[in-house]
Structure 1
Amino acid sequence: MDLLSAILRDLRLESVVLSFADLHAPWGFDKSKVNGAPFHIVTEGRALLKMEGKDAVELLAGDLLVLPGGAAHTLVSEPDAERVPFYDLLRSNGIDPDWVSDRSGRRFDRWRAGGDGSRTRMVNGVFGFPSPRPNHVIAALPDVILIRGRLREGPAWLDGILGQIIEEAAREEPGFQAIIERFADIIFINAVRTSIAEDPTGGTNWLRGLRDPQIARVLTLVHQEPGRRWTVAGLAKEAGLSRSMLASRFRAITGTTVMDYVNARRMELAETLLSSSHKPLAEIAVEVGYNSEISFGRAFRRWAGKPPGQHRREGRRANGYG
């Protein structure tokens, strides 16, 4: 498996398609910041995206918008359109938005809003992640990923998936929601891949390292063997670089140090093991590269703000296991 596929799989994406919107101008809604990555796909008509400190962006049919960090944003039919909170719109359509936090109660809803003007249709959803902590994959992505659809000579994959989503939603045959959610997984993965390929900002983050063969080698090794007793010198040897060259090049490309990345990978794996397995803490400690449960506990507390045992208990209660 390639590195990006493995990393995205470890992210444990939980795609939740919230709704299909049928909007008639004038309309507008505000979405507050969320712990997840909201996305919108315009299937008909147009919309304006407004975010604090940024210029408004026009979205047309076929366009995909993803906000990886869950940033607050506004969508309107025109600049001066009246806006209401998104959840209020759902409630006015008889939809209870509280189900969103209940993984066992996923639903699929349609809703309407606006006046009697031009029509816009949208898919509105959120990519959810089980951990409330910022993930290093998400943190490395830009605030906004905008992929133009076929109308603007965009990628064929987006046009194809959009057509499948619309067809499944229209038919509502048994299993249609599960199929749409899997399509949403593909949308997220492609959005991340497109963001890496384009990298318009030229900023520093570890995803850029995937395009550098030697840095990618280091990232792959750390991801595959997080519990190995890695050192900068050892990783430099694996990459065919000097210790100083690796250290400076890694920081220049990713914006972090080699060992900070190693530690982040270990802690995120530890968090996954704590929430998804019954392994003893001592066994987890060894698996993520620590000599003892005590040293692991100290490192995890620094990273998560709480000891691993407490983190596991709170996670189990949150998921309904006592």
Structure 2
Amino acid sequence: MLALSAERLMDAISKLIRMARPEGAVDVRCLLAGGHVLDNPPSRPRRVPFHLLLSGHCMAEVPGRTLELRPGDVLMLPRGCGHRLRVAADGPPSPFVRHVGSIATERSEDEPVIDLFCGHYTYQPGAGELLFGGLPAIVHASLGVGEGSPLHLLGELMRAEATLDGPGAGALLASLCEALLALALRGATTNPVPPWTAVTDPGLRAVVDVVASEPGKRWTISGLARVAGVSRATLVRHFSAATGMGVAEFLTRTRMTIAADLLTGTDRGLDDIAAAVGYRSASAFGKAFREATGSTPANLRRAAERR
């Protein structure tokens, strides 16, 4: 079996995240006391809301589920569904003052019981749609805030920038939000079905890595099963159970993500791009791309040129 390290898997995931070109932003930091209820309407297209809880407890009510959020939890909703957050605290909500600067902050008059960052990611058509469209509707990662947590330093940096509210704070927080995205995608193991980015099985990690690294190879499910060191049936069963996505769908989504990046970021011809992602002709590639994205390669390229 071809077993690859977690570091190599992260390289593959980082590659696909960079292609999606997500842009993160903090909308508001909530420092609240008392039992506040925070209603969040559905997001507009290509806007993914997220919440990072650094202290306190909340209950997140999303369609069909209620999730408990503890310090160090990240909640991301790739479909942008409307949702509600309830601050788990005794007593009525304490009045708060909203400060609007580089970073908006809502702070209660009483001692806050929660420290919550609410923000969003936006992405462009093409690679971004394919990446976020391949994630579960709910991504919930529990990373903790102790010294051994990757959020220990990141959370303190976010707090510091939001508190200082100085020149460049918005840009610095945007970069920290992008780091948070990578942490959430690889650590979302509290989901009933985690995203493919969080697979822990070495054989499945090897499949993810090799498809992202060699999209132009004529992959078959049997060939990928050999990479994983298991039978074809076992790979199909395990991959679907671990990610909620079929092997063939993952293969196509990864190839189309890479193709979309080439279409919008280079001037390479369709024949060249088709070959780079494993298709024998531009027509076969165009059909697969249209089925995966709802757009033709030419239309995506023209749209990117107008932006």
Whether TM exceeds 0.5 here: the answer is yes
Specify whether residues 165 and 206 from structure 1 end up closer, same or farther in structure 2 by C-alpha distance, changes over 3 A only: closer
Moved more, 139-148 or 300-309: 139-148
Query: Which letter maps to 2:154?
Result: I
Specify whether residues 193 and 260 from structure 1 end up closer, same or farther in structure 2 by C-alpha distance, changes over 3 A only: closer
**8 Å contact from structure 1 (residues 40, 122) kept in 2:** yes
Counterpart CA distance in 2 for 1:194 and 1:217 is 17
Query: Which letter maps to 1:8?
Result: S
Per-residue Cα deviation, 1:54-86 (whole angstroms, up to 9, x for no partner): 3364x56x443322323321234579989xxxx
**8 Å contact from structure 1 (residues 204, 252) kept in 2:** no
**8 Å contact from structure 2 (residues 74, 184) kept in 1:** no
- Structure 1 length-normalised TM: 0.73
Structure-1 residue corresponding to 2:40: 31
Shift of 1:289: 1.4
Which blocks of at least 5 consecutive residues in structure 1 are unaligned? 83-91, 96-106
Q: Secondary structure at the match of 1:289?
A: coil
Aligned residues: 290
Which blocks of at least 5 consecutive residues in structure 2 are unaligned? 1-6
Q: Secondary structure at the match of 1:40?
A: strand
CA RMSD for the aligned pairs?
A: 3.6
Higher relative contact order (CA 8 A, sep 6+): 2
Specify whether residues 42 and 223 from structure 1 end up closer, same or farther in structure 2 by C-alpha distance, changes over 3 A only: closer
Structure-2 residue corresponding to 1:64: 73
**8 Å contact from structure 1 (residues 273, 284) kept in 2:** yes
Shift of 1:308: 1.0
Per-residue Cα deviation, 1:120-167 (whole angstroms, up to 9, x for no partner): 5532211333337643566444614153744xx695332332222222
Structure-2 residue corresponding to 1:269: 258
Query: Which letter maps to 1:282?
Result: D
**8 Å contact from structure 1 (residues 141, 192) kept in 2:** no
Is residue 135 of structure 1 aligned with residue 130 of structure 2?
yes
Is residue 124 of structure 1 aligned with residue 113 of structure 2?
no
**8 Å contact from structure 2 (residues 55, 72) kept in 1:** no
Candidates 218, 236, 242, aligned match of 2:225: 236
Query: Which letter maps to 1:50?
Result: E
Query: Which letter maps to 1:190?
Result: L
Is residue 3 of structure 1 aligned with residue 5 of structure 2?
no
Shift of 1:226: 0.6
- Runs of 4+, deviation exceeding 6 Å: 78-82, 92-95
Shift of 1:280: 1.9
Counterpart CA distance in 2 for 1:251 and 1:93 is 45
**Greater gyration radius:** 1
Query: Which letter maps to 2:103?
Result: D
**8 Å contact from structure 1 (residues 63, 147) kept in 2:** yes
Counterpart CA distance in 1 for 2:234 and 2:42 is 40
Percent of aligned pairs with the same amino acid? 26
- Structure 2 length-normalised TM: 0.76
Structure-1 residue corresponding to 2:61: 50
Is residue 189 of structure 1 aligned with residue 182 of structure 2?
yes
Q: Secondary structure at the match of 2:85?
A: strand
Specify whether residues 222 and 117 from structure 1 end up closer, same or farther in structure 2 by C-alpha distance, changes over 3 A only: same
